[in-house]
Amino acid sequence: MSSSISALQALLAQPKQIVITTHHKPDADALGSSLAWAGYLKQQGHHVTVVTPSDYPAFLNWMEGNDEVVVYDKRQNDRQVRDLIARAEVICCLDFSCLGRINELGEYIRQASATKVLVDHHQEPEDFADITFSVPTAAATAELIFEIIRDLGHQDLITKGMGEALYAGIMTDTGSFRHPSTSRNVHLIIAELLKVNIDLSSVHRRIYDSHSEIRLRFLGFVLKDKLVVNREFNTAYIAITQDELRQYQSKTGDTEGLVNYALSIEGILFAAVFIDRGVAVKISFRSVGSFSVSDFSRKHFDGGGHHNASGGISYLPLDATVDRFLSILPEYKEQLTGVPAAVAPPVA
């Protein structure tokens, strides 16, 4: 048993006040791993609250425990959430690697006296937790939560509801079992989850086939009018203005997955989606193969993530952000095309 598991076991030996939190705009892995972990800890007699730093897409609302999630809102419940965090004996941080990713909650947690536990699979974790499970090779945080529960000797406590939340996290973070992170271990875990009769088709439908009509029309508009393919650098990108988001009544989650369409074009190795959120431009990057979008976003857009999936931010206007992005591409010509960048002639 690893030393982190022993430390966790000792920490959880008596009932505790526990807060679980996850990253801004939680996705299925963030919420699924948090709710499954909460389900386990509650069965162990702990008092558990899941707090998210922002709202999340409605297509995740079905998960067991969703109704008890506290969604942080600076204007609505700042005091309540601050108190929760200050009173917690244990704070579990799931599916993010640095406190800067969770807005105001990051500082509250940094200052909290609780024992902090980090469970995550992003690259370059910040060193803020007392007990750290950081496995960048893992496909999903949900995979790690399964393993932690199993290694604590309690796989039998995983219910169908917890199993479906974990399945949702693994399914989405592996791109429905197609990314290279989809290891043998991932499939073995799914086989274990099937023992509690998780309903694979139903989870898939609830997540991928629950669009509103206007969301599908938004997708049509984006693919027809907004997708730009740059063959010079095997790159495709999409930039969406605030007006366009308003026109299609965009809700949290509606822009999720757009970047994968850009990457699905034959020969495209690098895809980006720029969304004008008003306060900033939020960016998603994806790649296939050896080009590291994690390094790219860390270096140029104050971001990070995984080798083939990352995100970043820009405080320039949308057009200027895209111009800046295009001006950086020549630096990566060799990685993106195999052709070395032109060398400037020596200065005489």
| Of the residues 64, 95, 126, 147, which one makes contact with Mn ion according to CB under 5 A | 95
**With respect to ligand 5GP, which residue has the nearer C-beta, 72 or 274?**
274
Binding stretches for ligand 5GP (CB under 6 A): 23, 101, 122, 284, 303-306, 309-313
Tokens of 107: 């500082």
- Distance, in Å, from the CA atom of 314 to the CA atom of 248, rounded to the nearest integer, reads 23
**Nearest distance, CB of residue 165 and ligand 5GP, angstroms:** 18
**Nearest distance, CB of residue 156 and ligand 5GP, angstroms:** 31
Out of Mn ion, ligand 5GP, none, what residue 126 binds, judged by CB under 5 to 8 A for its kind, is none
- Distance, in Å, from the CA atom of 253 to the CA atom of 320, rounded to the nearest integer, reads 25
**Nearest distance, CB of residue 226 and Mn ion, angstroms:** 27
Out of ligand 5GP, Mn ion, none, what residue 303 binds, judged by CB under 5 to 8 A for its kind, is ligand 5GP
Cβ atoms 122, 101 nearer than 8 A: no
- Distance, in Å, from the CA atom of 287 to the CA atom of 263, rounded to the nearest integer, reads 7
**Nearest distance, CB of residue 142 and ligand 5GP, angstroms:** 13
**Nearest distance, CB of residue 26 and ligand 5GP, angstroms:** 10
| Of the residues 126, 164, 173, 254, which one makes contact with Mn ion according to CB under 5 A | 173
**With respect to Mn ion, which residue has the nearer C-beta, 141 or 294?**
141
Cβ atoms 163, 192 nearer than 8 A: no
- Distance, in Å, from the CA atom of 239 to the CA atom of 285, rounded to the nearest integer, reads 12
Contact residues for 283 (Cβ-Cβ < 8 A; gap 6+): 272, 273, 274, 275, 297, 301, 303, 311, 312, 313, 314, 321
**Residue 29 contacts Mn ion per CB under 5 A:** yes
Question: How many other β-carbons are positioned within 10 Å of the β-carbon of residue 220?
Answer: 9
Q: Which residues bind Mn ion (CB under 5 A)?
A: 29, 95, 141, 173
